[in-house]
Amino acid sequence: MARKISYQQAISEAMDQEMARDQTVIVMGEDVAGGAGTPGEEDAWGGVLGVTKGLFHKYPGRVIDTPISESGYVGAAVGAACNGLRPVAELMFIDFMGVCFDQIFNQAAKFRYMFGGKAETPVVIRAMYGAGFAAAAQHSQCLYNIFTHIPGLKVVVPSNPYDAKGLLIQSIRDNDPVIFLEHKVLYTMEGEVPEESYAIPFGEANVLREGDDVTIVAFGRMVNFAMEAAGNLQKKGIHCDVIDPRTTSPLDEDTILESVEKTGRLVVVDESHPRCSMASDIAGLVAQKAFGALKAPIEQVTAPHVPVPFSDSLEVLYVPSVARIEAAVTRVKEYS
């Protein structure tokens, strides 16, 4: 039965249900319990934002606090995955991937191919990403495009509570390494989520809204901005398809291409920097495979090519806005 819960609760519930279902699922990371070795509570935090709260006592020995040692424990999660477990390693902020990148892209991502198909590495690496908390340049980036570039990794960017639960369950059950990215601003977003367990397959885009004029493809938090923009545009007589690919790898190319074949106009909304981004990737895909259908240049609404600024007056300019999306859609609609 569905009831309204938050994105954060949906993620927590997915881990809880999978840990109950499968003894090989473990959770590890910095303060995923919080309190190890202290004189106080053993599960003081349950993750820096409380996402894993309550799992420590429910699953003894399977929720493991780590030192602040990302290469060490992310690599350990990868090794444990090779030896029969299904670890969910939490990296707190995606920005910290920089200190353990080797274990992800040289080790986990490559084992299966390098070892001639004889290895399976069912590891999930969770991290929060995105701007909007005034967390500044080293705690706000949007780096899913970097992991999308690496063969051997799957990359998941849920935009709402329902998808967060179903995609995380799929991530844990999946036999390949998965980078599961949670937008920090979305943690408080509420939505209808079934109580029972369910998995959403990778590589299947969600079409949230249908319209014949313009295709909007958006990722993560930007899906909600795109929906708001599309709602406003509808009142002005512009009707949009809004597509949430849900996973950047694998990518549901067909749904995007079919939409552009119908509308002939494309706006891609991506919170990453513009160069070598999902925005440029989708634009390239459509230019190559649906060139004949295009009636206007493709618009990319992205963050600028600058680090994420701290001050809220700058951060709000950094993140793509509903107004910028509306303006881009209007431009491509009016292009003749």
Partner 1 sequence: MSETLNRESLLKAYRTMRTIREFEERVHIDFATGEIPGFVHLYAGEEASATGVCMHLTGTDYIASTHRGHGHCIAKGVDPVGMMAEIWGKATGTCKGKGGSMHIADLSVGMLGANGIVGGGGPLICGTALAGKIKGDKSVGVCFFGDGASNQGTIFEAMNLATVWNLPVIFLAENNGYAEATSSKYSVSCDNIADRASAFGMPGVIVDGFDFFAVYEAAGEAIERARNGGGPTLMEVKVSRYYGHFEGDQQTYRAPGEVQKLRETKDCLLQFRRRVTANGEITNEQLDAIDAEVKALIDGSVVKAKSDPKPAAAELMTDVYVSY
Is there binding between residue 34 and partner 1 (CB under 8 A)?
no
149 to 168, contacts with partner 1 by CB under 8 A? Answer: 151-152, 154
Tell me, what amino acid is at 96? F
Spatial distance between the Cα atoms of 190 and 301, rounded to a whole number of angstroms:
26
Which of 139, 149, 183, 273 is flagged as catalytic?
139
H helices present in 41-90, as ranges? 55-58, 70-82
Spatial distance between the Cα atoms of 305 and 46, rounded to a whole number of angstroms:
35
Spatial distance between the Cα atoms of 66 and 87, rounded to a whole number of angstroms:
13
Among 79, 231, 274, 307, binds partner 1 (CB under 8 A): 79
| Cβ proximity to partner 1, 93 vs 101, nearer residue | 101
Spatial distance between the Cα atoms of 316 and 320, rounded to a whole number of angstroms:
8
- Give the dihedral sign, CA 187/126/22/113: positive
Active site residue 139: yes
| Cβ proximity to partner 1, 84 vs 237, nearer residue | 84
The answer to whether 230 touches 217, Cβ cutoff 8 Å, is no
| Cβ proximity to partner 1, 153 vs 303, nearer residue | 153
CA-to-CA separations, 73 to 1, 125, 195, in angstroms, rounded: 37, 11, 31
Among 39, 40, 60, 67, binds partner 1 (CB under 8 A): 67
Closest CB 81 distance from partner 1, rounded Å? 7
Helix (H) or strand (E) holding 91: strand 86-93
Closest CB 272 distance from partner 1, rounded Å? 23
Is there binding between residue 69 and partner 1 (CB under 8 A)?
yes
Token pair recorded at residue 123: 């590891």
| Cβ proximity to partner 1, 121 vs 300, nearer residue | 121
Name the 3-class secondary structure at 20.
Answer: helix
| Cβ proximity to partner 1, 112 vs 273, nearer residue | 112
Task: Let me know the angle formed at the C-alpha of 252 by 1 and 189, rounded to the nearest 5 degrees.
Answer: 40
Among 5, 33, 92, 112, binds partner 1 (CB under 8 A): 112
Is there binding between residue 315 and partner 1 (CB under 8 A)?
no
Among 118, 291, 292, 336, binds partner 1 (CB under 8 A): 118
The answer to whether 180 touches 293, Cβ cutoff 8 Å, is no
Please give the distance of CA 239 from its chain centroid, rounded to a whole number.
26
Closest CB 1 distance from partner 1, rounded Å? 31
Tell me, what amino acid is at 157? V
Spatial distance between the Cα atoms of 236 and 267, rounded to a whole number of angstroms:
17
Among 19, 27, 55, 85, binds partner 1 (CB under 8 A): 85
Residue range at the interface with partner 1 (CB under 8 A); choices 8-16, 69-77, 139-147, 269-277:
69-77
Closest CB 98 distance from partner 1, rounded Å? 13
Closest CB 199 distance from partner 1, rounded Å? 13
Closest CB 111 distance from partner 1, rounded Å? 7
The pairing of beta strand 206-209 with beta strand 240-244? antiparallel
Closest CB 2 distance from partner 1, rounded Å? 28
Is there binding between residue 66 and partner 1 (CB under 8 A)?
yes
Indicate which residues carry an active-site annotation: 139
* Interface positions with partner 1 (CB under 8 A): 26, 61-62, 64, 66-67, 69, 71-85, 87, 102-103, 106-107, 110-120, 151-152, 154, 174-176, 203, 250
